[in-house]
């Protein structure tokens, strides 16, 4: 086993997420930031931005984990040794034929990619689940009273409901910002409904920012829940002409 393989095996382990998102490719892993070494960037041929050289080990490890998974996902679609850089807004600059998104928590990372011929926009976000006390403190920053009522009427706890909304709104931003090229906040997407049976959420998006491909301007996201975290995904299929 070479040095890069040994170091990566100690640092990163597959997460074995049970959900799939065809036609997109999802890669995910758990990682141990304390075992990360900066040399892994060079050993694994992963681009390390100059700004990361003096960053904390935690930040270096998170960034590496996301790019490592991005390489795996892109390779599965036939693209290898691609230098994945970010623009001034920290958005990954994917190959021209792909759309993609990366997310991480303190010890988990995921990447999702798809061919543009099949998917026009994609966003993924992972968050640790908030407890009810912290959710109460953060609620007014993330959702309004109408969204709060939708959560209260569902089978979800306040902490889980807010965690899902926060994650979903982050996933929406990651998916749509590259298309809109305009900053928008949490108020741009309003929770419309929760379907706990199908693990899906619907959000109404501000039509002043972008007219979507349905009359009610609704975005539909899927989610999955583990003991510790939630993962949300927005995927907009390419309109076939």
Q: Which of 117, 137, 167 is the last residue of a domain?
A: 117
Taking the model in full, what pTM does it have?
0.93
Residues 232 and 142 in one domain: yes
Determine phi and psi for 92, rounding to 5 degrees: -60, 140
Question: What 3-state class would DSSP assign to 3?
Answer: helix
Q: Which residue has the tokens 């960034």?
A: 63
User: What is the average per-residue pLDDT within 212-227?
Assistant: 82
Q: What confidence score (pLDDT) does residue 1 get?
A: 46
Kindly report the CATH number assigned to the domain that includes residue 215. 3.90.470.20
Residues 85 and 144 in one domain: no
Q: Binning pLDDT at 50, 70 and 90, where does residue 215 land?
A: low
Burial class (CB in 10 A: 0-12, 13-18, 19+), 241: exposed
**pLDDT tens digits for 108-151?**
999 999 999 999 999 999 999 999 899 999 999 999 999 999 99
| pLDDT above 60 (res 53) | yes
| pLDDT above 60 (res 213) | no
Residues 178 and 104 in one domain: no
Q: Which of 91, 117, 143 is the last residue of a domain?
A: 117
The percent of residues in the chain predicted with pLDDT above 90, rounded, is 82
Residues spanned by the domain of 216: 125-237
Residues 60 and 131 in one domain: no
Q: Concatenated DSSP letters for 51-98?
A: GGTTS-HHHHHHHHHHHHHHHHHHHHTT--S----B-TT--B---TTE
């Amino acid at each position: 086993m070479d040095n890069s393989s040994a170091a990566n095996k100690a640092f990163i382990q597959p997460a074995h997420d049970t959900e799939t998102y065809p036609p997109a490719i999802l890669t995910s892993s758990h990682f141990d930031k304390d075992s990360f070494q900066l040399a892994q960037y060079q050993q694994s041929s992963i681009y390390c931005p100059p700004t990361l050289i003096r960053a904390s080990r935690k930040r270096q490890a998170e960034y590496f984990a996301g790019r490592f998974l991005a390489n795996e996902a892109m390779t599965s679609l036939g693209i290898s040794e691609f230098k994945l850089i970010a623009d001034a807004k920290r958005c990954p600059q994917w190959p021209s034929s792909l759309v993609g998104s990366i997310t991480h928590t303190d010890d988990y990372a995921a990447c999702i990619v798809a061919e543009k011929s099949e998917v026009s926009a994609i966003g993924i976000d992972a968050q640790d689940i908030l407890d009810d006390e912290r959710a109460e403190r953060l609620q007014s920053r993330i959702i309004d009273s109408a969204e709060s009522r939708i959560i209260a009427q569902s089978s979800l706890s306040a902490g889980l409901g807010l965690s899902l909304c926060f994650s979903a709104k982050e996933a929406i931003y990651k998916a749509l910002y590259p298309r809109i090229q305009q900053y928008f906040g949490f108020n741009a997407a309003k929770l419309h409904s929760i379907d706990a049976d199908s693990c899906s959420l619907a959000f109404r998006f501000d039509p002043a920012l972008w007219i979507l491909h349905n009359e009610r301007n609704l975005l539909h996201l899927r989610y999955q829940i583990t003991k510790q975290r939630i993962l949300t995904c927005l995927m907009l299929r390419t309109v076939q002409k």
